Amino acid sequence: MTDKTPAQIMEALDELLEKERRALLAGDLELIPPLLEEKSALVDALNLLTPGEKPSMDRLRDKVGRNQTLLDGALQGIRQVAGRLADLRQLRHSFDTYDEVGQRRTIDGDVVHRVEKRA
């Protein structure tokens, strides 16, 4: 990274942020970790620049904020799916309902697993 000019580093980071955005919008979350490593290397390269060499980063700051919002939304969605799956797993074991007088009842949902052997 050190052989690149500040403008080249900024352009590479801009392109990477666009890739990250497309991956987040498409739901390709497996692409995010490699992009994060590359992004970290580019940010490290920017940090090595002297204050006089650092270009304005307002545009990139906006893109980073936008991508962070998308990532937060993806994580929230993953948490909701995990919670829903946990609820569905619970339903396999028991189901809570209410009777005609409003009393809570639990219906056991024990599943009997049998293997039938045929000749």
The pLDDT tens digits of the residues spanning 25-83 come to 999 989 999 999 999 999 899 888 877 777 778 888 899 999 999 999 999 999 999 99
8 Å CB contact between 56 and 75? no
pLDDT at 1: 46
**Distance in Å from the first CA to the final CA of the chain:** 68
Model confidence at 7: pLDDT above 50: yes
> Please, are residues 2 and 48 in contact by the beta-carbon 8 Å criterion?
yes
Cβ neighbours of 13 (radius 10 Å): 21
pLDDT band at 93 (very low <50, low <70, confident <90, very high): confident
Q: Is 103 helix (H, G, I), strand (E, B) or coil?
A: coil
Q: Is the pLDDT of residue 108 over 80?
A: no
Domain ranges of the chain: 6-108
